[in-house]
């Protein structure tokens, strides 16, 4: 190790993803510890540049910051805020499901990040437990904007195939439609996973997963976690709603977390949240 790129000394290999490798690095001038993502697959350059430009325009406490993006001696480098701590996926693998209190805390933080993105016309499109890290003091940080895009910009294909990670994909994404509501479906998948330790739409083949998602066919979370509150069950139900128009928005999720009693009265939830959206100060 200890290789240097433009003043950044690589200190540790962190992991590899679909586009390249991530290293921890130290910048002596600023005394900053950062994560450097190095592109190793040239055919992913467009996705890489997309990640840099979308993420660099964002400032939110639950989204990893981009410090800079440059090409040095032909090497494409994206310098990010270094987030210490496991991904939610790693956390669940090691410790099992989160407590309801912790899961709601993460849900609120990520819903707030999504609301921020959606209000700017950006859809993340790859929200999943493996793309969220739990940093110090339980602070969740959203990573990996490689597939994010402005709602009206042209599609970036993921190796010419479906966009996103199959088990977190919303029903409409199988026919190429992504919208803020698709991120909210993924939020429902995330909540289910955090509370049960299992994916709602597992399956041995891609077509089986796709069929189950498009029917909204998942095992009631209470079967896996009998202590689950009615409010959590309702939230999952309202997020894993096949029709994107009827799904809760990120803003409604935040509102529901602030007033969980609303979730107990299921039949009233949709109209009440809509009414609240209209009348609140």
Ligand X SMILES: Nc1ncnc2c1ncn2[C@@H]1O[C@H](COP(=O)(O)OP(=O)(O)OP(=O)(O)O)[C@@H](O)[C@H]1O
Residues that bind ligand X (CB under 6 A): 14-19, 22, 35, 37, 64, 80-83, 87, 130-131, 143-144, 146
Distance in Å, CB of 265 to ligand X, minimum:
38
- The Cβ of residue 64 has, within 10 Å, a number of other Cβ atoms equal to 21
Quote the DSSP letter at residue 238: H
With CA atoms as reference, report the closest residue to 5 among 81, 71, 97.
Answer: 71
Distance in Å, CB of 51 to ligand X, minimum:
8
Nearer to ligand X, 146 or 244 (CB): 146
Nearer to ligand X, 69 or 82 (CB): 82
With CA atoms as reference, report the closest residue to 260 among 225, 227, 235.
Answer: 235
Known binding-site residue numbers for ATP: 37
Cβ–Cβ < 8 Å for 163, 157: yes
Distance in Å, CB of 124 to ligand X, minimum:
12
With CA atoms as reference, report the closest residue to 148 among 174, 181, 130, 122.
Answer: 122
Which positions are catalytic? 126
When CB distances to ligand X are compared, the closest residue is: 17
With CA atoms as reference, report the closest residue to 228 among 55, 103, 74.
Answer: 103
Distance in Å, CB of 132 to ligand X, minimum:
9
Known binding-site residue numbers: 37
- The Cβ of residue 117 has, within 10 Å, a number of other Cβ atoms equal to 23
With CA atoms as reference, report the closest residue to 137 among 91, 92, 197, 84.
Answer: 84
3-state per-residue secondary structure call for 1-17: CCCEECCEEEEEEEEEC
């Amino acid at each position: 190790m200890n290789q240097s790129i433009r003043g950044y000394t690589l200190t540790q290999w962190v992991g590899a993803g679909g586009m390249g490798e991530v290293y921890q690095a130290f910048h002596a001038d600023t005394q900053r510890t950062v994560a450097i993502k190095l592109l190793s697959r040239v055919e992913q350059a467009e996705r890489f540049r997309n990640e840099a430009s979308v993420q660099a325009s964002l400032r939110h406490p639950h989204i990893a910051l981009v410090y800079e993006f440059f090409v040095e001696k032909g090497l494409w480098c994206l310098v990010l805020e270094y987030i210490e701590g496991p991904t939610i996926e790693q956390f669940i693998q090691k410790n099992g499901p989160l407590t309801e209190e912790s899961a709601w805390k993460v849900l609120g933080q990520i819903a707030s990040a999504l609301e921020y993105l959606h209000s700017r016309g950006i859809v993340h499109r790859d929200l999943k437990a493996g793309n969220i890290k739990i940093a110090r003091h339980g602070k969740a940080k959203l990573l990996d904007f490689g597939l994010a895009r402005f709602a009206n910009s042209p599609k970036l294909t993921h190796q010419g195939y479906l966009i996103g990670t199959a088990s977190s994909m919303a029903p409409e994404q199988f026919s190429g439609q992504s919208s803020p509501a698709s991120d909210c479906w993924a939020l429902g998948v995330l909540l289910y996973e955090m509370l049960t330790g299992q994916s709602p739409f597992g399956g041995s083949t891609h077509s089986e997963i796709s069929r189950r998602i498009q029917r909204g066919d998942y095992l009631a979370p209470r079967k896996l976690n009998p202590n689950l509150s009615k409010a959590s069950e309702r939230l999952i139900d309202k997020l894993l709603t096949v029709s994107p128009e009827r799904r809760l928005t990120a803003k409604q999720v935040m509102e529901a977390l602030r007033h969980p009693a609303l979730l107990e009265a299921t039949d009233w939830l949709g109209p009440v949240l809509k009414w609240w959206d209209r009348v609140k100060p």
